[in-house]
Amino acid sequence: MTGPADRRTLAANGRVAHADLAGRVAAERFVTPEWLRVTATLADLRAAPGGPRDRQLLYGARFGVLEQRDGWAFGLAADDGYVGHVAVAALAAGAAATHWVAAPATHVYPAPDLRREPLLALSFGARLTVVAEDGRHARTDGGGFVPLVHLRRVGDSSRRGPHRVLAAAIRDAGVNIAFGTDNMTEDMFQAMHVGSVVHRGSYGGGVRPGPQAILDAVTRNGAASIGRLADLGSVEPGKKADLTILDLDTPAMRPVISLVSNIVHYGHPGVVHSVMVDGTFLLEDRRVLCMDEAGALDEAEAAARSAWRRLHRDSPDIEPPQGCRWL
């Protein structure tokens, strides 16, 4: 070879070299890599045995071993070709990975039960070989179980779209569940509608959880989730006067057979009559008292249009929102 070689990408150490380097570098032996898989949560790829760490390999990553000496394997990572030393104890033979972890993190459990002590923690991007699925969990070739919702098949890079929520298992494990809103809507009534469908679907249909459990998820459970159940979450003496007053004299809320059921299943922002926060009305008789509502709406509309015009001007390759006629 001519010119200096980068040791991080040169699969040779003088004693042994990758077979593809025959005639290009000096080595006692030229060998074909033995491909093993990383079996630790993370394995350090080091410049020398016990030396500085160059990078890390995730669970399930393939590592081509060229030589083993004194508990260290010299070789190259399949993903990026980086060369170095990995502890032999962190490697093992195994079948090709079938799935990868698409959640920020997950765990491998000894049984299909989230309440069990996990065997192993896995990071985003880790790879596993799945040998069976039961609808909620994937069984790996090592005998462990991983929540199926946290996995994607190898070759599927999508992290979005519909997926099965393990709400039933989470509820049955006694986890406090609180509902909230995201940037696409700030409508807690919609959160209850969607939450009811999703959570009942996780039980295979039926009426579990009931309306009271859904209402609790946006009131008591929310307060409990931030450690404020002593002063928030319900209407009781000594707690803050945070109240939402609904107008029941509307077609959507009648007939009133079960008030909680009506609120959960039929409620929407249009039935909100007044809102009190810590004893002060912010909305009364459907009038906002704490700001100029019309002015705020106009400012928000102008700010959004201005932002989109700047974006369209600076990045004309980005398409405007569908149906937008003012750009």
Helix, coil or strand: residue 257: coil
Rounded to whole angstroms, how far apart are CA atoms 214 and 212? 5
d(CA 138, CA 112) in angstroms, rounded, equals 8
Tokens of 24: 């290009």
The answer to whether 232 and 242 are in contact (CB under 8 A) is: yes
pLDDT along the chain (327 residues), means of 10: 71 94 93 95 94 93 96 94 95 93 92 92 93 91 93 72 69 90 84 89 84 96 95 95 95 93 95 96 96 94 90 78 77
Say what the pLDDT of residue 161 is.
47
The span from the CA of 170 to the CA of 128, in Å, is: 23
Whether the Cβ atoms of residue 122 and residue 40 lie closer than 8 Å to each other:
no
Closest of 145, 143, 149, 106 to residue 125, by C-alpha: 106
Cα–Cα nearest to 219, from 249, 197, 189: 189
CB 239, CB 265: distance < 8 Å: no
In this structure, the number of other CB atoms found within 10 A of the CB of residue 272 comes to: 15
β-bridge partners, 44: 56
Residue 299 phi/psi, 5° resolution?
A: -65, -40
Q: What is the pLDDT of residue 4?
A: 59
pLDDT of residue 157: 59
Instruction: Copy the structure tokens of residue 162.
Output: 């519909």
